[in-house]
Structure 1
Amino acid sequence: MTFEFIADRPVLDFLPTLAERGHADVEQLTAPRDVADWAVQAGIVERPPAVDDAGLSHAKGLREAMFRLVQALINDTEPIRADRELVNAAAAEPLPALRLEADGVHRDGDLAAVLAVLARDCLELHASDDRLALRWCADEHCTRAFVDRSRGARRRWCGMRGCGDRAKAAAYRQRRRTPAP
């Protein structure tokens, strides 16, 4: 499976591996290999880490805890203590190992290291100025959070490909249907 990376933050790209929350609930992590493939495509590690069914379940549970933490941050509500504890525990794990070889920098790590990167990014999001620019995508079915770095802070969609294109096409069709006065 090919994943989409449009958020400029690993945690915000990992959360939509469960897309259209509350509508279609499209789960993209259906097998252990999907988590390993996501980690490689995200550039967190070079080789897929070993992931079994328990690792898949843990990754999905952590994803949901991080989603609720981001949701609480955007909605300015109190996060759930158990979610904070789960993310804090994952963030305490060792990060992927970096090494410089003749052909460049290489990243190696297991599933815990991959999840540590995501958990730390979630925690750093809470401490960074990006937290003030977090928004939900305006598409009614999209549940992606994004950091609005646009001038004037008027961005509405998580990305122009997909949600933005659909919204603009729908607006165009509506204008074409409605006769000018």
Structure 2
Amino acid sequence: MRFEFTADRPVLDFLPTLAERGHTDVEQLTAPKDFANWAVQAGIVDQPPPVDDAGLRHAKALREAMFRLVQALIDGADAAAADLELVNEAAAGPLPALRLEVDGMHRNGDLDAVLAVLARDCLELHASDDRLALRWCADEHCTRAFVDRSRGARRRWCGMRGCGDRAKAAAYRQRRRIPTA
């Protein structure tokens, strides 16, 4: 499976591995290998880390806690203590080991190292200026959060490929249906 990476932040790219929350709830991490492959495609590690069913459940639990933290940040609400505890605990873990070799940089780590990168990015998001530009995608079925770095801060879609294209096509079809007087 190929995953989408549009958010420029690992945590914001990880959260939509459960897509269309509250609508169709499309789970993209259905097997341990899915998370391992996501970690490689995200560039966090070079080789898929070993992940078992318990590890996948832990990764999903952390994903949901981070989603609620991002949701609270966007909505200006207080974060739940249990979510903070889970994310803080994961962030305290070891990071992937970096090694520069003749052929380039290599990143090696296990499941905990990948989760530490994601948890730390979630925490750093709360402390960075990006938190002020954090938005939800305007597509009614999309539940992606994104950082609006557009000029004038008027971006509405998580990405033009997908949500933005669908919105533009729908607006075009609507204009074509309405006869002009």
Q: TM-score, normalised by structure 1?
A: 1.00
Aligned length: 181
SS of the residue aligned with 2:152?
Answer: coil
Match of 2:104 in 1: 104
Match of 1:55 in 2: 55
1:131 counterpart letter in structure 2: R
Match of 2:121 in 1: 121
SS of the residue aligned with 2:7?
Answer: coil
Match of 1:65 in 2: 65
Quote the Cα distance in structure 1 between the aligned partners of 2:102 and 2:164.
Answer: 42
Q: Give matches, 1:94-173, under 5 Å.
A: 94-173=94-173
Quote the Cα distance in structure 2 between the aligned partners of 1:2 and 1:113.
Answer: 22
Match of 2:31 in 1: 31
1:165 counterpart letter in structure 2: D
SS of the residue aligned with 2:141?
Answer: coil
Cα distance, 1:66 vs. partner? 0.1
Quote the Cα distance in structure 1 between the aligned partners of 2:61 and 2:106.
Answer: 28
Q: Mind listing any 5+ residue stretches in structure 2 that lack a counterpart? A: none
2:127 counterpart letter in structure 1: A
Cα distance, 1:180 vs. partner? 1.2
Cα distance, 1:138 vs. partner? 0.2
1:3 counterpart letter in structure 2: F
Cα distance, 1:58 vs. partner? 0.1
SS of the residue aligned with 1:152?
Answer: helix
Per-residue Cα deviation, 1:122-157 (whole angstroms, up to 9, x for no partner): 000000000000000000000000000000000000
Match of 1:89 in 2: 89
Match of 2:17 in 1: 17
Quote the Cα distance in structure 2 between the aligned partners of 1:138 and 1:74.
Answer: 14
Moved over 2 A (4+): none
2:10 counterpart letter in structure 1: P
**Aligned-pair identity (%):** 85
1:39 counterpart letter in structure 2: A
Q: CA RMSD in A?
A: 0.3
Q: Mind listing any 5+ residue stretches in structure 1 that lack a counterpart? A: none
Quote the Cα distance in structure 1 between the aligned partners of 2:100 and 2:168.
Answer: 45
SS of the residue aligned with 1:2?
Answer: coil
2:58 counterpart letter in structure 1: H
SS of the residue aligned with 1:24?
Answer: coil
SS of the residue aligned with 2:8?
Answer: coil
